[in-house]
Structure 1
Amino acid sequence: MKAGHWGDDPEVLRDSSDNGVIRVRRLEELGVPATTAYRRCGPGGPWTRLLPGIVLLSNAPPTRPQQVAAALLYGGPEAILTGAEACRTLGLRNVPEKCTLVHLLVPHGRRLHNYDYVHVERTHRMPKVLNRRGLPVSEPTRAVLDGCRRMTELRPVRALLTEAVQRSFTTYERLIQELEVGSRRGSAVPRLVLAEMAGGAESVAELDAVRLWKRSGLPEPQWNKPLFSRSGAYLGKPDAWFEQVGLAWEIDSLAFHAGAEGFARTLSRNARYAAAGVLVLPTLPARLRTDPEEVIAELKGAYAAAAALPAPAVRSVA
């Protein structure tokens, strides 16, 4: 396109952009002088300057995908997403809405600085890159821990780490390994949560259950171990299994057990437990926080009741 003729077909500019986001350098290649591009980003102009050298071909507020596209253009061809935005892109749900920074990883030799909503981390340890929806994203273990390092509260870190493990985005072992070789900055909270998870808890509710069990004075149960009858038939995977007395403690969330399918699944599990002589104590996750003393009393009572019954013919698998 010849200089000065770009205005005759503005769609050419949009076709050369990423969702309406484009470098000023690319605009110059298309015949738009840099002075013209920045002037059109001025008050009342039709375009918007998002980041240094990056323009949105609209004066409407940028969407999140447009902000992310601008950040990656700002970071350059070697930049990849990590942290909260990478976790969202990978499909993790427990990412706090207030985590709005776009966290980029770039090779250590780059001279690039934070700007506005973009956080740039220069690293000697560039992770494996995945392509998700056309975006370069860090592999999950690094993305999750990079996100957690920027959180200061325990509960959202618990939620993200346990979801990542529970949904098989990563494993406890890989998280521990990455924590040990990665940056120490901001690692205190995820380190504490991983120490909590060491016993086998796979969700925030189970971590709450662990804390209540510690206050109960009861012997330590096995956490999340499959349970089988003596004949080898699968019974279930109780959140906590008190093998000493044959008590299964299940933290039954409404999200997992609601609806016809979830209700049927729960009834089938409980029927298998009953047929094998296993006493079950079901607890709603919310009660672990709203009624902790009552839950502890129920747990002690169920333990005593199970101890008074004949030992069930079952076995757990480590």
Structure 2
Amino acid sequence: MTHDTPLSPRPLHHLADGRRRLMTAAQLRTHGVSAAETTEQCRPGGPWQQLLPHVVLLHPGPPTSEERLHAVLMYAARERTAVAAGGAPAGVTASVPVQPGGRGTPAYAEAMITGLAALTLHGFSTSPPLPSLDVIDVLVPRLRRLRTTGCARVVRTTALPTAQQVTGVPVAPVARALADAVAELTDAGALRRLLTEAVRGGHCEPAAVVRELNRARLLSRPHVVDAVDSLVAEGRALAEQRLYRTVREHGLPEPVWNVDLRLPGGPRIGGVDAYWPEHAVALELDPRAHRQHGDDALWAEHARKREHLERLGITVVHLTPRKLRDCPEHQATVVRTALMTAAEREPAAYVVVLPR
């Protein structure tokens, strides 16, 4: 018996039964379809068509967006041994145990949609609709032996993130999908719109996007740097709005906002986002959402300022934009606790408060 010999010959019409719209060559062999029969069915004008190497669409006419997504995943997914019960016979490999349109969720090993297609699946309005995409990016481990072909563009990574399931499709997290989209974008306006929507739409925090862009070595591109500056400013403005709302909605005393602290007649200590002079409590938003190549110096400066303030008897509360977004009530409790315990501490040194 050769590799292409049918295992259990059956009529071919049972394969295109409305549920099975895509199959790999390995899956077709488990249904008794030889390589020669597959080639015959995929001839011009035939009932099937080969969308990608070893991936066959079991009907004529253009594929749907769903079919293209699953075809790309079937092409890129590492094949695994199927279980004898309810799947292919033991010892026969199959990429996808359940077909798109059938019951259950297809299982794709070591492959997920990324880039613009992933952002569209995540609900971005500024990414193109799926039918307009000529290629669909698929993320795989770096050592996989795959090539970009047809509508599948292979993107490699040394560390595959945990996929998120969106309408039954494994999709890269937003920050990673953004980085992969940015790698292919030269339109500064489109790039800026995507990054702005990521923050305004609450899809992810600026720091997560910047980390991924830095990891992909994209922060040396001028149009990316400009877009990131806008992203950081956008994220900062949103975080400040959340902070104002948290203070007011949870009945905290009104602080003085965005001020510089100095010693009387002495040097500048540093700026803080909010300060309660009567309680000697300062609040700072996480400063690490800036370009990563400056993070070490930025964080060292932040740590120096915090130590200086604490030596002066000033309590420093550190909040992150993400926590302000996800659990503002808890963050309000953190601030309230710092204010309430002020009377139990030694009096703080006097500092001069100036507008920043």
| TM-score above 0.5 | yes
Give the AA of the match of 2:177: A
Which residue is equivalent to 1:79? 111
Give the AA of the match of 2:234: G
The RMSD of aligned alpha carbons is 3.2
Which residue is equivalent to 2:148? 114
Which residue is equivalent to 1:284? none
Which residue is equivalent to 2:215? 181
CA gap 1:224/1:40 in 2 versus in 1, 3 angstroms: same
Which residue is equivalent to 1:279? none
Which residue is equivalent to 1:38? 39
1:163 equivalent to 2:197? Answer: yes
- Say which SS state the counterpart of residue 234 (structure 2) adopts: coil
Which ranges of structure 1 fall in alignment gaps of 5 or more residues?
203-221, 235-317
Quick check: 2:7–2:30 contact (8 Å CA) kept in 1? no
Q: How much does 1:200 deviate?
A: 3.2
**Partners of 2:176 and 2:239 in 1: how far apart?**
25
**Partners of 1:189 and 1:25 in 2: how far apart?**
45
> Across the two proteins, how many residue pairs are aligned to each other?
214
Quick check: 1:130–1:137 contact (8 Å CA) kept in 2? yes
Q: How much does 1:9 deviate?
A: 3.0
- Say which SS state the counterpart of residue 104 (structure 1) adopts: strand
Matches within 5 A, 1:113-152: 113-152=147-186
Residues 59-98 of structure 1, C-alpha deviations (whole Å, 9 max, x = no match): 1111111111110000012111110111111111110355
Which residue is equivalent to 1:91? 123
**Partners of 1:93 and 1:125 in 2: how far apart?**
28
Give the share of equivalent positions with the same residue, in percent. 27
Give the AA of the match of 1:140: V
CA gap 1:151/1:228 in 2 versus in 1, 3 angstroms: closer
Which is further off, 96-105 or 1-10?
1-10
**Partners of 1:96 and 1:32 in 2: how far apart?**
38
Quick check: 1:129–1:137 contact (8 Å CA) kept in 2? yes
**Partners of 2:33 and 2:174 in 1: how far apart?**
40
Q: How much does 1:233 deviate?
A: 7.5
CA gap 1:187/1:70 in 2 versus in 1, 3 angstroms: farther
Give the AA of the match of 1:27: L
Give the AA of the match of 2:114: T
Quick check: 1:179–1:191 contact (8 Å CA) kept in 2? no
Q: How much does 1:38 deviate?
A: 1.3
Which residue is equivalent to 1:50? 51
State which structure, 1 or 2, has the greater radius of gyration over its C-alpha atoms: 2
**Partners of 2:196 and 2:47 in 1: how far apart?**
45
Which residue is equivalent to 2:14? 9
**Partners of 2:33 and 2:160 in 1: how far apart?**
35
TM-score normalized by structure 1? 0.60
Q: How much does 1:124 deviate?
A: 0.4
Q: How much does 1:196 deviate?
A: 2.4
Q: How much does 1:2 deviate?
A: 6.5
- Say which SS state the counterpart of residue 115 (structure 1) adopts: coil
Which residue is equivalent to 2:340? none
CA gap 1:122/1:35 in 2 versus in 1, 3 angstroms: same
**Partners of 1:223 and 1:90 in 2: how far apart?**
21
